[in-house]
């Protein structure tokens, strides 16, 4: 797109960088400045009129017009007129005036009439940081079919966008746009976003482009990998064989077996070194134990805040927490980050730089247990490759129910029966300390009841510095764990059969699904009780009927209406205005296909 320096400055003021983004700033209203001899009541209309008389009242200016296009008199009124308005109405002068026309009892009036010159057109009006006349001129000069097509927009989409800004025959109804117009706006919004994402993607030369076959290792496992685990491993294997360093995110549901994909990746990288960063000591320990069990051929190190100084050069696979960022690390050919959303971008980038060698970069894999909608995954692939693991190695048997105060007696009976069967219970409370605003007990208020009525009750929360030790001890000895959502991600408690979530309506469905995923980790019969003071909740009812995390993610979208994806933030920032991630999968596919043709 060819624009002048002056126009570029105006684009910066509007916080846009392309004609596509400019086209999405649709009018807030229109002025229909075409002359008509058909009087429309309670509508903005143009009159071709001669001023018959002008009367100044204390707070208004009253004008009598003869409207030539209607063939009769019409009264005009200006409330609290500014001085410059007075000079627009001179008796005997014929001109064009625009205002709101009303007719009552055979008398017609036009309120707040203004003299206009741009006759014969439907003129768009914009709400923006630019003055309305400047914005209009900018639209007229920059928003052209040629500019849109030059940015990759298809001709039929460009035509539809121009129709919104410069309608020829009919004024568009902005409150109820036609389906083809909405589709064009959705397409353009997504095209612009994904094009920006793909431009952000950076390619680095990889430290290595060779890798081992994993098949014999997979055959040695005491279980069979699922088809989706194998598909993800194959995609990673293909990445490792390229000369550019891999950038892939592997998204799997709770219990989908991402750990085996991590271990397969480390195995394929042999004899070269791999590094894995996990968000908590407990999770790092779990991964370390799994790696020792299934990768006996590798020398594996665990690095946490408590690890003494060791020579890491001697190890094939280094697993650790963010403590890795404060160690001198040897060069690694593969960097992996588990529960990637728990680390900031700066932390992930720092780990990669710590183990890089000059301009050469390690392959980089991120793992997430928070399922995302398929549409979002398809969008994300514009700047990073994405693998989805939607199935689990074994079917979890978890009964989910919404419960209320009247169900508490039955809940107590259930808890006693589960403890008698040597199973464990998790109680999730919304707050640590009392709050009059919430309407639910906090941990501090509730713990006395449970500690007085049950043995082996453990308590932890986000501010508890000993939480990891508490969780480890509970795993071995506990009956009931009282916690906040600190247990949402990562921990694996093999005997946990029941989770009770207090004030469940306050949490997002994805968080509820993560908490539910803590139970039935080893095939136990599981139970998830959603305790709420609400008499009914369609959202919670739908959750209890849905088991797949990816379906939950779509449900969450429908109830939250889209969330935020723009500019790379998932919980804050701008929202898509037109695209609905829960509904518009076909448009996403179409944009992806069109962008791939351009690359």
C-alpha distances in Å from residue 495, one per residue of 37, 411, 521: 82, 18, 8
Architecture of domain 34-115: Beta Barrel (2.40)
Query: How high is the pLDDT of residue 488?
Result: 54
- To the nearest 10°, report the CA torsion of 530, 531, 533, 536: 30
Which of 510 and 408 is assigned the larger pLDDT?
408
pLDDT tens-digit readout, 531-589: 999 888 899 999 999 888 888 887 877 776 544 333 333 333 346 888 877 778 889 88
Asked if the domains at 34-115 and 397-546 fall in one CATH topology, the answer is: no
Instruction: Write out pLDDT tens, residues 207-216.
Output: 999 899 999 9
Confidence of residue 176 (pLDDT cuts 50, 70, 90): confident
User: What is the per-residue pLDDT for 288?
Assistant: 95
Rounded CA-CA distance 563/515 in Å is 21
Averaged pLDDT of the chain = 87
Give the pairing type, strands 247-252 and 385-389.
parallel
The mean-pLDDT minimum among 285-289, 302-306, 357-361, 475-479 falls in: 357-361
Position of tokens 């501090």? 444
- pLDDT confidence tier of residue 450, bands split at 50, 70 and 90: very high
Which residues does 65 contact at the CB level (< 8 Å), separation at least 6?
A: 47, 49, 50, 51, 52, 73, 74, 75, 76, 97, 110, 113
Taking CA atoms, 235 is separated from 223, 228, 380, in Å, by 21, 10, 16
Order of strands, edge to edge, in the sheet holding 247-252? 300-303, 317-320, 274-277, 334-337, 363-368, 247-252, 385-389
The partner residues of 48 in beta bridges, in order of sequence, read: 96
Dihedral of CA atoms 374, 377, 379, 380 in degrees, nearest 10, equals 170
Share of the chain above pLDDT 70, in %: 94
Neighbours of 230 (CB within 10 A): 17
- Weakest-pLDDT range from 60-74, 382-396, 457-471, 479-493: 479-493
| More confident call, 303 vs 580 | 303
pTM above 0.85, yes or no: no
How far is 164 from 125, CA to CA, in rounded Å?
A: 11
| Spatial contact of 395 and 547, defined as CB atoms under 8 Å apart | no
Q: Give the C-alpha separation, 436 to 74, whole Å.
A: 62
What is the reported pLDDT for 577?
85
At residue 308 the predicted structure's pLDDT band, cuts being 50, 70 and 90, is confident
Boundaries of every domain in the chain: 5-31+121-177, 34-115, 215-389, 397-546
CB 462, CB 484: distance < 8 Å: yes
SS3 66: strand
Give 341 or 183, the one with higher predicted confidence.
183
In CATH terms, is domain 397-546 a member of 3.40.50.300? yes
Instruction: Give the pLDDT score at 566.
Output: 38
Say yes or no: domain 215-389 is CATH 3.40.50.300: yes
Q: What is the pLDDT of residues 344-360, one digit of tens each?
A: 677 877 887 877 777 88
3-class secondary-structure state, position 43:
strand
Q: What mean pLDDT do residues 327-338 have?
A: 91
pLDDT of 146 higher than 70:
yes
User: What is the band of 201 on the pLDDT scale with cuts at 50, 70, 90?
Assistant: confident
Residue 379 pLDDT > 50, yes or no?
Answer: yes
Closest CA to 99 of 26, 71, 85: 85
**What is the mean predicted confidence (pLDDT) over 276-295?**
92
């Amino acid at each position: 797109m060819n624009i002048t320096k002056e126009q570029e400055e105006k684009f910066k003021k509007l916080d846009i960088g392309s004609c596509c983004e400019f086209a999405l700033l649709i009018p807030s209203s229109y002025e229909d400045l075409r002359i008509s001899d058909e009087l429309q009541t309670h509508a903005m209309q143009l009159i071709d009129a001669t001023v018959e008389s002008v009367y100044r009242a204390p707070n208004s200016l009253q004008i009598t017009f003869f409207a030539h296009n209607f063939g009769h008199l019409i009264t005009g009124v200006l409330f609290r007129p500014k001085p410059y308005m007075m000079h627009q109405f001179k008796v005997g002068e014929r001109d064009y005036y625009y205002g709101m026309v009303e007719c009552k009892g055979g008398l017609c009036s036009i309120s707040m009439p203004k003299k206009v010159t741009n006759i014969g057109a439907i003129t768009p009006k914009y709400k923006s940081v630019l003055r309305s006349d400047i914005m209009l001129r900018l639209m007229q000069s920059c928003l052209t079919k040629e500019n849109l097509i030059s940015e990759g927009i298809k001709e039929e989409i460009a035509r539809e966008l121009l129709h919104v800004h410069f309608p020829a025959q009919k004024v568009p109804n902005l409150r109820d746009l036609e389906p083809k117009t909405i589709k064009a706006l959705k397409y353009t919004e997504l095209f612009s976003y994904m094009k920006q994402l793909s431009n952000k993607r950076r390619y680095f030369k990889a430290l290595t482009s060779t890798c081992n076959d994993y098949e014999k290792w997979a055959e040695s496992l005491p279980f069979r990998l699922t088809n989706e685990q194998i598909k993800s491993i194959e995609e990673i294997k293909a990445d490792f064989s390229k000369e550019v360093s891999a950038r892939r995110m592997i998204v799997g549901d709770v219990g989908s077996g991402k750990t085996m994909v991590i271990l397969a990746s480390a195995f394929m990288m042999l004899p070269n070194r791999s590094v894995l960063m996990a968000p908590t000591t407990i999770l790092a320990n779990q991964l370390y134990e799994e790696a020792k069990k299934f990768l006996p051929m590798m020398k594996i190190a665990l690095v946490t805040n408590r690890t003494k100084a060791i020579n890491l050069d001697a190890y094939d696979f280094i697993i650790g927490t963010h403590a890795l960022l404060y160690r001198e690390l040897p060069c690694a050919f593969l960097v992996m980050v588990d529960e990637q959303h728990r680390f900031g971008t700066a932390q992930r980038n720092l780990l990669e730089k710590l183990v890089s060698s000059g301009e050469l970069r390690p392959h980089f894999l991120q793992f997430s247990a928070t399922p995302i909608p398929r549409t979002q995954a398809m969008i994300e692939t514009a700047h990073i490759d994405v693998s989805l693991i939607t199935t689990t190695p074994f079917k979890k048997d978890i009964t989910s129910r919404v419960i209320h105060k009247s169900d508490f007696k039955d809940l107590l009976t259930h808890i006693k029966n589960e403890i008698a069967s040597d199973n464990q219970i998790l109680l999730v409370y919304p707050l640590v300390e009392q709050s009059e605003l919430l309407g639910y007990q906090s941990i501090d208020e509730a713990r006395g009841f449970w500690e007085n009525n049950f043995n082996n009750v453990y308590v932890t929360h986000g501010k508890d510095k000993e939480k990891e030790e508490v969780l480890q001890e509970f795993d071995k000895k506990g009956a009931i764990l009282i916690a906040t959502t600190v247990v949402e991600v990562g921990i694996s408690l093999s005997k946990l059969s029941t989770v009770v979530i207090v004030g469940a309506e306050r949490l997002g469905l994805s968080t509820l699904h993560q908490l539910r995923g803590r139970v039935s980790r080893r095939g136990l019969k599981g139970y998830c009780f959603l305790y709420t003071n609400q008499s009914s909740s369609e959202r919670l009812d739908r959750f209890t009927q849905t088991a797949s995390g990816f379906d939950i993610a779509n449900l969450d979208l429908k109830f939250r209406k889209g969330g935020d994806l723009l500019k790379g933030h998932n919980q804050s920032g701008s929202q898509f205005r037109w695209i609905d991630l829960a509904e518009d999968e076909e448009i996403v596919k179409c944009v992806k296909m069109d962008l791939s043709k351009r690359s």
